[in-house]
Amino acid sequence: MKKLSILCTFMFVIGMVASSAFAQIIECTSNDECDDGISCNGEETCVAAICVEGVSPCAENEICDTENDICVPVDLTVSVDIKPGSCPNPLNVRSRGVLPVAILGTADFDVETINPETILITREGFDPVSPIRYSYDDVGAPSEGDLCDCDDLDEDDLDVDDIMDLTLKFRVPELADGLGLKEVESKEIIPLIIMGEAEDGTFMGEDCIRVINRLKWWQDKLKNPKKPRNRDEE
């Protein structure tokens, strides 16, 4: 029996949208001006005159149901691979292309039990985005290491395993705008969350991206100009 219905997932999405104001820059003079009245998504505080999001007290296998202000367990935790075969996963937020994402199947989890129409990708505090298309293929294997640290990954983690995966494509402009990625510092590594419904209940998984903002490359040059060579020192 499902612990979470599609309605619960939808409620969670609404909560993410409702809290998106805290993902934007909000000026403040006290913590009271930042409080959204919901405890399960963390305590918002005023830091240097700017509202800062709190850290959710929910466990890794739980999500914040903002409608009822409680942490709700997720039925399934799945393995997600952004840009299969790549680590780190660079994403140029100024690109007009698509971002490939795979939900990896295992011996105990058949990706064909997933309802693709329910799949969303999100980042805490931002509007979720739906994929534009999906297909089935063997593109990778679940990793045992820290997905945000490529040094922890073995070469086998980036290889196929003869088990079918669900591959998705997301429009980069929709991700950049919907998830506020253009405001992220260049080269910063951040996690993205995939969630949806399968036959056995609600699932959730995550992987990391390394943000690239090609319109800001010149700023790095100005901050760290290349020192001209002094021929007298040669």
Domain segments of the chain as ranges: 1-74, 75-216
Output the pTM of the full model.
Answer: 0.68
Q: What is the pLDDT of residues 166-225, one digit of tens each?
A: 999 999 999 999 999 998 888 899 999 999 999 988 899 999 999 998 665 455 555 555
| Measured distance CA(214)–CA(9) in Å, rounded | 35
Comparing 62-66, 128-132, 230-234, which segment has the lowest mean pLDDT?
A: 230-234
Which backbone phi and psi does 11 adopt, to 5 degrees? -60, -40
Q: Which of 21-30, 65-74, 135-144 has the highest mean pLDDT?
A: 135-144
Q: What is the pLDDT of residues 76-135, one digit of tens each?
A: 889 999 999 888 899 999 999 999 999 999 999 999 999 999 999 998 777 789 999 999
Q: Architecture of domain 75-216 in CATH?
A: Sandwich (2.60)
Q: Which residue has the tokens 């140029």?
A: 92
Q: Which residue has the tokens 């029996």?
A: 1
| Measured distance CA(214)–CA(146) in Å, rounded | 27
| Measured distance CA(130)–CA(114) in Å, rounded | 14
Give percent above pLDDT 70 in the chain: 75
H helix runs in the chain, sequence order: 6-18, 172-178, 217-223
SS3 59: coil
Indicate the residue type of 63: I
